[in-house]
């Protein structure tokens, strides 16, 4: 059995049958990481003794017959999730010395499931970025082409999954940070409905948009991991209490009669021809599976980026005020009075993109500008949400590209923040509306770099989105392809 290229379901079966131990599995991934990650930089922190101790504990559980679908399966977590005793940096110098004293709810859920923590993955600083280039720990390389970015902000998680350095990984998505890197790295990724995954212990960027989710090779893998991740937690006041749901239960339903909404704004000039071709081929495949196309419009799409870059920085400026050099994290060495301590610690601890957003956010919230920017953006946010509600009266799912282009080169967009911001044009409105979204690989574009198809559903339609993705993956094998580097 080639462990790195085995699905979660098959790994779980081998563990249950005791033809494989959790220790063996964890060790094999740690060996791959040691061998390949120096090229990719997808992990910030590894702690092999801790991972193997957790694997041993999982083996004891398996021996006692106490197993669930993820028991014994190691999973990597984005370094935005606090994990007790683990360095938790959020990609920032500000937290480069922060060892979390508690577990995020998400991490607790994986512990309870018996899934060993494989390592903490690299990310854009405080999840602000689309290329993983704002990380204090250096850029991550795209396993399909080391000259290309993996996307961001969950770039480490996406690259690690694409290179098969972990069976799956967690991520977070505030404006596209799961779907865009999944797309650029040729893997699957899901951002659930806002409120399905607890934000407790997930370092805050823009709280009304942040949502945890999963990256993995296939939709079936996503469903298995999502089963563990979703759950009510009273410590996050926006976490929703819903009846338990098995996201794998409906995967096999046929798609006959499915109405796919195609927003005209998602098939416009901004989309490169290679991406458009791969998306068209995927839509044809869906027609073969019994789906029909419906033309729809999401007229406020072009406003989503400006609205996001008012609201997200506003929330970030408030959330990041807790990093003051006093309570935890980085503290400047030489300082005079208390104000000087704050100023120097923040000046030295935050990178340029984070500072840009704190400044923007503080500005849009300031007296005299609040109505013109912040309140106005909130109103447009409502219009964007209404567009989707209107669309879902005519279709069951919305499809389009996850990203307007394939992965760009490292360094290509770093000097032009606006160009960088536009790479999330198709993902951001989904966060503004709080809807679930999924990206699956559907082919290759320029320079053999992957193309991702985005599926957007109505609230709480995760199971249906996963079913729609799974049916496509039963009929095609894009999700099973991995970069040459991963075959070594
Ligand atoms: N790329 C977007 C940004 O820079 C979204 C990031 C995210 O989803 N965390 O803010």
What pLDDT, on the 0 to 100 scale, is given for residue 420? 87
Mutation test residue for ligand 1: of 121, 126, 129, the one with most atoms within 8 Å of CB: 129
Q: Which atom of ligand 1 is nearest to the CA of 176?
A: 8
Which residue's structure tokens are 């849009």?
Answer: 364
* Other Cβ atoms within 10 Å of 162 Cβ, number: 29
What pLDDT, on the 0 to 100 scale, is given for residue 434? 98
What pLDDT, on the 0 to 100 scale, is given for residue 87? 98
Name the residue at shortest CA distance from atom 10 of ligand 1: 128
What is the Cα–Cα distance from 233 to 231, expressed in whole angstroms? 6
pLDDT in tens for each of the 488 residues of the chain?
A: 789 999 999 999 999 999 999 999 999 999 999 999 999 999 999 999 999 999 999 999 999 999 999 999 999 999 999 999 999 999 999 999 999 999 999 999 999 999 999 999 999 999 999 999 999 999 999 999 999 999 999 999 999 999 999 999 999 999 999 999 999 999 999 999 999 999 999 999 999 999 999 999 999 999 999 999 999 999 999 999 999 999 999 999 999 999 999 999 999 878 999 999 999 999 999 999 999 999 999 999 999 999 999 999 999 999 999 999 999 899 999 999 999 999 999 999 999 999 999 999 999 999 999 999 999 999 999 999 999 999 999 999 999 999 999 999 999 999 888 888 888 999 999 999 999 999 999 999 999 999 999 999 999 999 999 999 999 999 999 999 999 999 87
Say which of 22, 130, 131, 153 is annotated catalytic. Answer: 153
For the chain, list the domains and their CATH numbers: 3-258+394-487 (3.90.1300.10)
Q: What is the pTM of this model?
A: 0.98
Å from CA of 399 to ligand 1 middle: 20
Could you tell me if the CB of 127 is within 6 A of ligand 1?
Answer: yes
Cross-sheet strand order for the sheet of 259-263: 43-45, 117-121, 75-78, 169-172, 212-216, 188-191, 437-444, 450-456, 397-401, 259-263, 292-296
What is the Cα–Cα distance from 375 to 117, expressed in whole angstroms? 41
What pLDDT, on the 0 to 100 scale, is given for residue 423? 87
pLDDT digit string (tens) for 142-188?
999 999 999 999 999 999 999 999 999 999 999 999 999 999 999 99
What is the Cα–Cα distance from 74 to 67, expressed in whole angstroms? 14
Structure tokens at 353: 């993109």
Could you tell me if the CB of 173 is within 6 A of ligand 1?
Answer: yes
Q: Which atom of ligand 1 is nearest to the CA of 174?
A: 8
Å from CA of 130 to ligand 1 middle: 6
Mutation test residue for ligand 1: of 189, 215, 312, the one with most atoms within 8 Å of CB: 312
Å from CA of 429 to ligand 1 middle: 12
What is the Cα–Cα distance from 55 to 21, expressed in whole angstroms? 8
Could you tell me if the CB of 403 is within 6 A of ligand 1?
Answer: no
7 is catalytic: no
177 is catalytic: yes
Specify whether the backbone of 20 is left (phi greater than 0), alpha (psi in -120 to 50) or beta.
beta
Å from CA of 287 to ligand 1 middle: 33
What pLDDT, on the 0 to 100 scale, is given for residue 89? 98
Could you tell me if the CB of 174 is within 6 A of ligand 1?
Answer: yes
Å from CA of 209 to ligand 1 middle: 10
Structure tokens at 44: 């910030």
């Amino acid at each position: 059995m080639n462990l790195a290229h085995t699905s979660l379901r098959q790994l779980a079966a081998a563990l249950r049958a005791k033809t494989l131990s959790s220790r063996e599995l964890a060790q094999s991934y740690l060996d791959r990481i040691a061998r390949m990650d120096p090229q990719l930089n997808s992990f910030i922190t590894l702690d092999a003794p801790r991972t193997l101790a957790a694997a041993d504990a999982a083996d004891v559980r398996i021996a006692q017959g106490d197993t669930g679908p993820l028991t014994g399966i190691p999973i990597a977590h984005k370094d935005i999730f606090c994990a007790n005793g683990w360095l938790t940096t959020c990609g920032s110098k500000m937290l480069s010395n922060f060892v979390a004293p508690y577990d995020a709810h998400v991490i607790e859920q994986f512990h309870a499931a018996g899934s060993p923590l494989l390592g903490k993955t690299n990310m854009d600083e405080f999840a602000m970025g689309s290329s993983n280039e704002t990380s204090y720990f250096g850029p991550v390389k795209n396993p399909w082409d080391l000259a290309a970015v993996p996307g961001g902000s969950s770039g480490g998680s996406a690259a690690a999954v694409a290179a098969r350095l972990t069976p799956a990984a967690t991520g977070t998505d505030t404006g596209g940070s799961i779907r865009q890197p999944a797309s650029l790295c040729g893997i699957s990724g899901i951002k659930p409905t806002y409120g399905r995954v607890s934000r407790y212990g997930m370092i805050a960027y823009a709280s009304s948009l942040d949502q945890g989710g999963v990256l993995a090779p296939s939709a079936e893998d996503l469903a298995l991991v999502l089963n563990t991740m979703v759950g009510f937690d009273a410590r996050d006041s926006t976490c929703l209490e819903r009846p338990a749901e098995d996201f794998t239960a409906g995967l096999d339903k046929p798609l006959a009669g499915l109405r796919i909404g195609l927003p005209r704004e998602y098939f416009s000039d901004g989309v490169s021809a290679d991406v458009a071709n791969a998306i068209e081929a995927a839509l044809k495949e869906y027609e073969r599976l019994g789906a029909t196309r419906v033309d729809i419009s999401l007229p406020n799409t072009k406003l989503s980026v400006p609205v996001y870059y008012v609201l997200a920085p506003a929330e970030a400026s408030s959330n990041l005020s807790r990093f003051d050099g006093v309570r935890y994290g980085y503290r400047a060495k030489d300082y005079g009075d208390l104000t000087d301590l704050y100023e120097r610690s923040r000046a030295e601890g935050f990178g340029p993109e984070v500072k840009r957003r704190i400044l923007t956010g503080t500005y849009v919230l300031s007296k005299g500008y609040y109505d013109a920017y912040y309140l106005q953006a909130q109103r447009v946010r409502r219009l964007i949400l209404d567009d989707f509600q209107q669309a879902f009266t005519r279709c069951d799912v919305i499809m389009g590209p996850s990203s307007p282009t394939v992965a760009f080169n490292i360094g290509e967009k770093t000097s032009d923040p606006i160009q960088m911001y536009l790479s999330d044009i198709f993902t951001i409105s989904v966060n503004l509306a709080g809807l679930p979204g999924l990206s699956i690989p559907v082919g290759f574009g320029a320079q053999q770099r992957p193309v991702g198809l985005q599926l957007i559903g109505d609230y709480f339609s995760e199971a249906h989105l996963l079913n729609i993705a799974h049916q496509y993956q039963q009929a095609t094998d894009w999700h099973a392809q991995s970069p040459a580097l991963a075959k070594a």
